[in-house]
Amino acid sequence: MKHNEKTKITRHIKDFILITSGIFSAAFGFKGFLLTNHFIDGGATGISLLVSILTPIPLYILIVTINIPFIILGYNIIGKAFAIKTSLAILGLALVVATVTFPNVTDDNLLVAVFGGFFLGAGIGLSVRGGAVIDGTEVLAIYLSRKFGTTIGDIIIVINVVIFSAAAYFLSIEVALYSMITYLAASKTLDFIIDGIEEYMGVTIVSSKSEEIKKLIIEVLGHGVTTYKGKSGYGKTGESGNVEIVYTVVTRLELNRLKSEIEKVDENAFVIISSVRDTKGGMVPKRGLKY
């Protein structure tokens, strides 16, 4: 078997495990916490839960029906492979919700809101790591952000304001408030699953002792570096000169150590730190659950 084929099969198996885990986690959040206590989440999931509470239509049917437009939209703006994976993931979630029995864990409202959101967010996050979604809201947000020139976050906020306002009107203000806690727990868990605790930070260092700094990053921290030529200066008539600029990527957990090591070499070094969404290749430790 060729290396590329083996890599592709391994990736498909990993995606399957991630999506399956996500389906069962989300289903547990639904049936173990949210459904029996009439709490909802945001997005397409929240719409499905709200309609299932207000009507006799089963949740598993609503999960499929409400997400169909998002699947079609995903096919048009993201691609065929994404749409197929998402269709299978949503059908799998509906099947598990319809056929698998989960215990009602607790009737305490706060615990329901927090842990229902936790398991639902974990389920959505694991599915995203597997290359699919079980909540199509972000697909709609991507489309609308491109169409109207707004951010994805702004679109999601507007959608959720409408959903929680409907919950307050049709259910009660108390349920809507608890549902907002569910949404916050779900979104924070989703971020953690996707980004992990080891958030990447890009560090740019301008120093006259660039060679020593490069050496400590490579030998002490075990990271790769990129260097490029620049010209330093300040003010309109300030001194200027050529300088070698050092760039590296570390995890947030390593950031303090890097700054301390830089200060030992050059306490006047100019250091710029910025968040990095993700990395590929190089000498950066990879966090778990990559897809």
What's the pLDDT tens digit per position in 25-66?
Answer: 999 999 999 988 888 888 888 899 999 999 999 999 999 999
**For residue 202, with 0-12 CB atoms within 10 Å meaning exposed, 13-18 middle and 19 or more buried, which class applies?**
middle
* Res. 23 pLDDT band, cuts 50 70 90: very high
Residue 291 has pLDDT above 80, yes or no: no
Q: Which of 199, 217, 201, 202 is nearest to 262 (CA)?
A: 217
C-alpha 43/C-alpha 259 separation (Å) is 41
Stated as kind and residue range, the H or E segment containing 55 is none
What is the percentage of the chain residues whose pLDDT exceeds 70? Answer: 87
The answer for residues whose C-beta is within 8 angstroms of residue 182's C-beta and 6 or more apart is 34, 39, 40, 41, 112, 113, 114, 116, 117, 120
Contact criterion met (CB below 8 Å) for 270 and 276 = no
Cβ neighbour number for residue 146 with a 10 Å cutoff: 11
What's the pLDDT tens digit per position in 124-163?
Answer: 889 988 888 888 887 887 788 777 777 666 777 888 889 9
What's the pLDDT tens digit per position in 152-211?
Answer: 667 778 888 899 999 999 999 999 999 999 999 988 888 888 766 556 788 999 888 888
Query: Strands, DSSP E only, in 62-150?
Result: none
pTM of the model: 0.73
